[in-house]
Structure 1
């Protein structure tokens, strides 16, 4: 289901209002955990365009949220799973009684290994990075290798060793997870896991790209407002060509990124999502750096918020793998290089 332009504006306004109120996680305040889940499973049945819109606002506000790990990645994975345990967990996620952390194994499906115990249960072992909700997650979703291929498992968070990752942005929710023969439930067969993984990865690219566009817009708005009021040699610094050109370049990057992300959300191709991720990442990093430079000395201080936007932009740019990975995928799709 796609919302009309009027309803999209209403969703944007409502999300902004909830973020400004800062009463808690926006997915709790607006019941967004089931945004992408079919109505038959209790969700809202909305699509990727609406997902990107919410991500835009989260990026602008730099708000810690379970939106990416729970509402985007976990719900997509669970929607493609083929077990009763996955259906039960999805219902708990949509109902707000469960929040998921998700392992970011990337292309390395052997980072975590699953072993079948004598009584037919499973345990998992390995180390991986993960995204965790700002409110306490109770379940970790991870792909683990089995004798029949990679499958999706759920591990109770108390059975996982979780430590904050060494990162630029502590609000992003990146953690290091260590699993040592941790009891686990299999949620999907290898076939369903592969399908779910592909869908979750594509949506992750779009959601992070949408967040990057929000980061870039917030940086541009802050820089332009400062350039209007900060005077030097008797004139606002925004009257100087160097500042005008820099802001214009940032605006062009943002408009390009916004269009590419919108096209990818309406399309459905993985290649488009990869392109959106790369273009949006560049727009966010350039906008954040420009915001700092336009602010001059105050922009480089710890007290100003500009560095927080730069941190978020840089962490997001590598959240789903190095930039070379995404650029190579784009090159392959264009026939410029081999796989």
Structure 2
């Protein structure tokens, strides 16, 4: 079966991309890196006004009334630009926590003993006692380790949270592919673009294949909403983001490791996201249980 985005879905994706291009461009990304732990509240409220957090909230409750496929498209765009903040937690809290839907309140979740953006959050869902700050590998994702747990009734691996994280990883994998191809076309060695050399061609091709395979899995899981499909999509998206960022670094060489480059930020964010609930071993166990049932 061949899946195609509807005109409305394309318009939504383009609208989110345009908003982020205007409000969180490369300069804003660098500013966020230089001020770690500071959340742009004005941008957060603007996201709320645009319906980012209330996409799946029914219209009768003041939401947009769309579904999981549309939320996936929005979060893919957020992952593509490395938008900081507890996006998934606040989105899931829309309709449950007052102010989450319109972006006036920032919500964080306890996830496997970790909390992202604890100091910036207005509400923390779960018990977060004994919070200890950690040195996060990603300067755009402050972390605390807590001696706590999620709220009763909130799963440690909420399927929607798992899928939205996969969508963010997909966006990051797509951006890694774009940057690698752009650099391969413009960077020259021995009088030729480095993209003319077979080794670089293979890296770029692998980047594209992993990203597109992950895209198909994430989009399909958004349609079926089956936990097993979501687990498979998460594994593919994590691999596409982490390995894609590694290959993008390989294409850039030493330039990719410089603080001025955004390439290393892609890898660092992908590493941190991959540790969220529902990734890695949890998704593998779910798939294994389904295959052996």
TM range (shorter): 0.7 to 0.9
Across the aligned residues of Structure 1 and Structure 2, the Cα RMSD in angstroms comes to: 2.6
Pair 1:323–1:165, CA change in 2 (3 A): same
Pair 1:283–1:96, CA change in 2 (3 A): closer
Q: How many matched pairs?
A: 269
Q: Is the 8 A contact 2:138 2:268 kept in 1?
A: yes
Task: Using the TM superposition, give the Cα deviation of residue 292 of structure 1 relative to its aligned residue in structure 2, in angstroms.
Answer: 0.5
255-264 vs 21-30, which deviates more? 21-30
Correspondence 1:165-184 to 2 at 5 A:
165-177=134-146
Correspondence 1:153-164 to 2 at 5 A:
162-164=131-133
Corresponding residue number in structure 2 for 1:125: none
Corresponding residue number in structure 1 for 2:15: 14
Q: Does 1:59 align with 2:43?
A: no
Pair 1:95–1:324, CA change in 2 (3 A): closer
Q: Is the 8 A contact 2:158 2:278 kept in 1?
A: no
Partner of 2:43, secondary structure, is coil
Correspondence 1:134-213 to 2 at 5 A:
136-142=120-126, 162-177=131-146, 193=153, 196-197=154-155, 201-213=158-170
Task: Using the TM superposition, give the Cα deviation of residue 301 of structure 1 relative to its aligned residue in structure 2, in angstroms.
Answer: 2.1
Matching residue within 101, 112, 116 for 2:108: 101
Partner of 2:201, secondary structure, is helix
Q: Is the 8 A contact 1:274 1:330 kept in 2?
A: yes
Task: Using the TM superposition, give the Cα deviation of residue 103 of structure 1 relative to its aligned residue in structure 2, in angstroms.
Answer: 1.0
Task: Using the TM superposition, give the Cα deviation of residue 7 of structure 1 relative to its aligned residue in structure 2, in angstroms.
Answer: 1.6
Partner of 1:172, secondary structure, is coil
Query: How many angstroms apart in 2 are the aligned matches of 1:24 and 1:92?
Result: 15
Query: How many angstroms apart in 1 are the aligned matches of 2:100 and 2:278?
Result: 26
Correspondence 1:44-55 to 2 at 5 A:
44-55=64-75
Q: Is the 8 A contact 2:48 2:102 kept in 1?
A: no
Hey, which bits of structure 1, 4+ residues long, moved more than 6 A? none
Task: Please give the TM-score of this superposition, normalised by the length of structure 1.
Answer: 0.72
Whose strand proportion is higher, 1 or 2? 1
Matching residue within 65, 75, 86 for 2:94: 75
Q: Does 1:129 align with 2:114?
A: yes
Q: Is the 8 A contact 1:69 1:133 kept in 2?
A: no
Corresponding residue number in structure 2 for 1:92: 99
Matching residue within 54, 75, 79 for 1:34: 54
Partner of 1:9, secondary structure, is helix
Corresponding residue number in structure 2 for 1:239: 196
Matching residue within 215, 229, 236 for 1:258: 215
Task: Using the TM superposition, give the Cα deviation of residue 51 of structure 1 relative to its aligned residue in structure 2, in angstroms.
Answer: 1.1
Partner of 1:311, secondary structure, is helix
> Residue deviations 1:209-266, cap 9 Å, x none?
1111110111111110111111111111101111111111111111110000011110
Partner of 1:45, secondary structure, is coil
Corresponding residue number in structure 2 for 1:269: 226
Q: Is the 8 A contact 1:32 1:67 kept in 2?
A: no
Task: Using the TM superposition, give the Cα deviation of residue 10 of structure 1 relative to its aligned residue in structure 2, in angstroms.
Answer: 1.5
Runs of 5+ unmatched residues, structure 1: 79-88, 106-127, 145-154, 180-186
22-31 vs 230-239, which deviates more? 22-31
Query: How many angstroms apart in 1 are the aligned matches of 2:99 and 2:259?
Result: 40
Task: Using the TM superposition, give the Cα deviation of residue 132 of structure 1 relative to its aligned residue in structure 2, in angstroms.
Answer: 3.2
Task: Please give the TM-score of this superposition, normalised by the length of structure 2.
Answer: 0.83
Corresponding residue number in structure 2 for 1:108: none
Task: Using the TM superposition, give the Cα deviation of residue 322 of structure 1 relative to its aligned residue in structure 2, in angstroms.
Answer: 5.9
> Residue deviations 1:186-225, cap 9 Å, x none?
x8xx6xx2xx538x71011111111111101111111101
